[in-house]
Structure 1
Amino acid sequence: MADQHDELAGTEQPFVAHLIELRDRLVRSLIAVAVVFAVLSFFPGPAALYDLLAKPLVAQLPQGSHLIATNVISPFLVPLKITLLLSFLVALPVVLYQLWAFIAPGLYSHEKRLVLPLVVSSTVLFIGGVAFCYFFVFGRVFHFIQSFAPKSVNVAPDIEAYLGFVLTMFLAFGATFEVPIVVVVLARMGVVSVAKLREYRGYFIVIAFCISAVITPPDMVSMLALAIPMCLLYEVGLWAAALTVKKPEESTSEAS
């Protein structure tokens, strides 16, 4: 009886076969995103999703103020963009599995043991950064900004500008939460030792505050909300690297 097919097993294939497999896996990923998009389009719907995204800002606006649309087609396009982005995030496990199934046959066993945990942990950390930004940072940042608004000013943000701001902040915090992954990878690859990374702690703190000042809005709350987690996550990365990276004497004993 023929052995059951294992799509993660390494087998040599011609170049055309690789292209066909890549196409098939891209199609499966697109189908997964399309299915989630169709479900979200009916429930709760693009308009409800945008209301949910705008909730932290709307809660801080003066009574009677609302978001506005300065472009005729914005009320239609902006909620659809949010629905599509959320569909991709929900379908991300399927997309990552298709990516993993495509590259896994070309990897050695020790590389598979390293890559899969990195893919899973980096995805979880990115989503964690987005959630931290939405549930913790937005409310405090918008409250701080609105507290400085003159009473003579009618605050009415544009929905498209708000979407651009939100995406920038989501990407910034999602990337920030990847710091432990970067530290572990640098240490595991032998680019920088854990001891050196500890010595660079002071430099990293300065870099973290500089990056926060450039990426976030020009207010102290959002800058600290990005810089402080970045520094704490650097410490988490050092701790994880110390646990996962083998010491030279351990590598020598295993080799002998």
Structure 2
Amino acid sequence: MLKSARKQEKQEKDAEGRMPLAEHLRELRNRLLKSVLVILVITVVAAVFYKDLIDFMLRPMLESVGCTDGVVTQRNGRPCADMTVNGLIAPFSIALKVSLAAGVVLSAPVWLYQLWAFIAPGLHGHEKRYAISFVLVGAPLFLGGAVLAYNILPQTAQILLEFTPEHARNLLPVDDYLDLVTRMVVVFGLAFELPLLLILLNFTGVLTARRLAGWWRAMVIGITVFSAFATPTGDPLTMLSLAAPIVALYFIALGVCLLNDRRRRRNNPDAGLDDDEASHLDLTPETIGEVESVGAPAALPEQSDGGRSRINGYDDAT
């Protein structure tokens, strides 16, 4: 009984999502702690399978540009690289990096949900129901960006090794390679979240589809420039491998925003007005009631007897 009363009191207190700054900071702290805790748990579990994870991350590099039998160049004449580990502590630090990277990527559904849960109290009741959809769409998008980064690594390595001087051996430290992999996975994954962010801003009323559509040229150019800096090589093929999916997702997000704005206008004709813009007034006159005769108003109920109830010309004894 006491628990249900506290729950009802909390719901009444936060029904509009209004809370002081201290409450917002406390909420942010709790969400961050939950996210970090889940990342740490998955990191510990990933550490158990460290050998399998490191083999999975090194396989595309070794199959594309890995040196065999101590040769400097592969059979196709391209330079190759030897994966090396330098120092006594390096293997342990590599294990930590691999486990932490796996923890961040695999826990994406959890920290995406915590991000939405922190924003949701400021939304209306009908907007909070999109929390599950946000996670169900956001997690695959992040993982899709991570998979894309993993798949273009061999091509990226081949392009970078072309700058190796002739008859020189390229020694590639594993920890440097893992830093590159982690950076690309995180950057590509977060870049794939851009359409979801735009949809979130539209559903919360911050960004309209008309304004988003007016930005399409700047968005395409911005995505292209971002892809040029995000990819290590910056060559056109690798850059387009990142830019093309993000541009496609941007236009998909634009279509979703257009449908949402159309639904909002249908439910509320004044939803698209600015805060300082007046709504349209319907000045068409309407008939209030029937009249008994043209030019003569209807008699009041007290006067329906023709004035016989009046005393000395008044309606009552006064």
TM-score exceeds 0.5: yes
1:16-55 alignment runs, 5 A limit: 29-42=35-48, 44-45=49-50, 47-55=51-59
| Superposition deviation, residue 211 in structure 1 | 1.4
Q: Please name the residue that 1:242 is paired with.
A: 258
Q: Which has the higher helix share?
A: 1
Structure 1 stretches of 5 or more lacking a match? Answer: none
| Cα gap change, 1:99 to 1:190, in 2 (>3 Å) | closer
Residue 233 of structure 1 corresponds to 249
Matching residue's letter, 1:176: A
Check the 8 A contact 1:144/1:221 in 2, yes or no: no
The residue number in structure 2 matching 1:84 is 100
- Relative to structure 1, is the Cα distance of residues 112 and 53 closer, same or farther in structure 2, using a 3 angstrom cutoff? same
Distance in 2, matches of 1:166 and 1:82, equals 10
Deviations 1:61-91 (A, max 9, x none): 2432421234542221022122023124334
Radius of gyration: which is bigger? Answer: 2
1:63 aligns to what? 67
Query: What letter is aligned with 2:57?
Result: L
Q: Is the 8 A contact 1:11 1:105 kept in 2?
A: no
Name the CA distance, whole Å, in 2 between partners of 1:58 and 1:133: 16
Q: Is the 8 A contact 2:66 2:83 kept in 1?
A: no
Q: Which residue of 2 aligns with 1:10?
A: 11
The sequence identity of aligned pairs, in percent, is 29
The SS at the match of 2:83 is: coil
The 1:73/1:31 distance shift into structure 2, 3 A limit, reads same
* Residue 224 of structure 2 corresponds to residue 209 of structure 1: yes
2: CA distance between counterparts of 1:176 and 1:95?
Answer: 16
**Alignment counterpart, residue 177 of structure 2, candidates 162, 172, 178:** 162
Residue 11 of structure 2 aligns with an amino acid whose one-letter code is: G
Residue 196 of structure 2 corresponds to which residue in structure 1?
A: 181
- Whether the 8 Å contact between 2:40 and 2:103 is mirrored in structure 1 is yes
Question: Counterpart amino acid of 1:164?
Answer: D
Instruction: State the partner residue of 2:285.
Output: none
- Please, which moves more after superposition, 95-104 or 74-83? 95-104
**Partners of 2:267 and 2:120 in 1: how far apart?**
25
Question: Which amino acid in 1 is paired with 2:193?
Answer: E
Mapping for residues 90-239 of structure 1, pairs under 5 Å: 90-96=106-112, 108-134=124-150, 136-146=151-161, 149=164, 151-217=166-232, 218-239=234-255
Cα drift, residue 177 of structure 1: 0.7
TM-score, length basis structure 1: 0.77
CA displacement at 1:130 relative to structure 2: 0.8
For structure 2, the 5+ residue unaligned runs are 69-80, 272-318
Q: Which amino acid aligns with 1:37?
A: T
